[in-house]
Amino acid sequence: MLFQTKYESPVGRLTLASDGTSLTGLWLEGQKYFGGAGKEERKEQDDIPVFHAAKEWLDRYFSGKRPGIRELPLAPAGSEFRQEVFQILCEIPYGETTTYGEIAKKIAAKHNKTGMSAQAVGGAVGHNPISIIIPCHRVIGANGSLTGYAGGVDKKVWLLEKEGVNVARMTVPTKGTAL
């Protein structure tokens, strides 16, 4: 059984999910892929230690502090490739951005390959089940574009601005030009 709770944030209501030990999900209300792929029943329950820790983490984040990702037990679901992408996302420093292509190059280098698809990375980033804490909002297009964010590009802009990123030079891409 999975558990869930709600958190009211400056970017709207968030739903947090847990297996009872680790955080398995964090979604913005109404976002694409809300709740992940699993169809398991979830019980509303606030008194799980990881929920307390995650809410404290979010309180610090939204107050402008830089909480560490390693402070929380995270268990995002996903293939081995997606897990690699999620790990790289966790390494992007607060207030900085990277591109899908840069992530693809890191994965290619790790596997001694000459290349990796930025689009494949984009698919993994787009299915990140623990938004904000696993900072997929810090990934932008190669041309500096604010590519899609499952929670909405407006939320991505808000999060980046909160972290001090100058988004004025960035644009919202037209379909097919982002990566």
Question: Which has the closest alpha carbon to 82: 130, 35, 39?
Answer: 130
Arithmetic mean of pLDDT, 152-162: 94
Q: Provide the CA 42 distance to its chain's centre, in angstroms.
A: 21
pLDDT at 179 over 70: no
Q: Are 26 and 132 in contact (CB under 8 A)?
A: yes
Catalytic residue among 26, 104, 136, 146: 136
Q: Are 44 and 4 in contact (CB under 8 A)?
A: yes
**Choices 3.30.160.70, 3.30.70.980, 3.40.50.720, 3.40.605.10: CATH for 2-71:** 3.30.160.70
| Assigned CATH topology for domain 80-162 | Arc Repressor Mutant, subunit A (1.10.10)
What pLDDT sits at residue 35? 64
Q: Are 5 and 13 in contact (CB under 8 A)?
A: no
> What are 19-35's pLDDT values in tens digits?
999 999 999 988 766 66
Higher-scoring residue by pLDDT: 164, 39:
164
Higher-scoring residue by pLDDT: 98, 43:
98
In which residue ranges of the chain is CATH 3.30.160.70 found?
Answer: 2-71
- What stretches of the chain show up as alpha helix (H) in DSSP? 49-62, 80-90, 100-110, 118-126, 153-162
| CB atoms closer than 10 angstroms to residue 152 | 16
In which residue ranges of the chain is CATH 1.10.10.10 found?
Answer: 80-162
What pLDDT sits at residue 39? 61
| CB atoms closer than 10 angstroms to residue 8 | 9
- pTM of the full predicted structure? 0.90
Arithmetic mean of pLDDT, 156-172: 92
Residue 90 annotated to the active site: no
- Helices 80-90, 100-110: axis angle to 10 degrees equals 120
What single-letter DSSP state applies at residue 25? Answer: E
pLDDT-based confidence at 172, cuts 50/70/90?
A: confident
The bridge status of strand 98-99 relative to strand 42-44 is unpaired
What pLDDT sits at residue 101? 95
Q: Provide the CA 54 distance to its chain's centre, in angstroms.
A: 14
What pLDDT sits at residue 171? 86
Q: What is the b/e burial string over 71-99, where b = at least 16 CB atoms within 10 angstroms of the residue's CB?
A: ebebebbbeeebebbbebbbebebeebbb
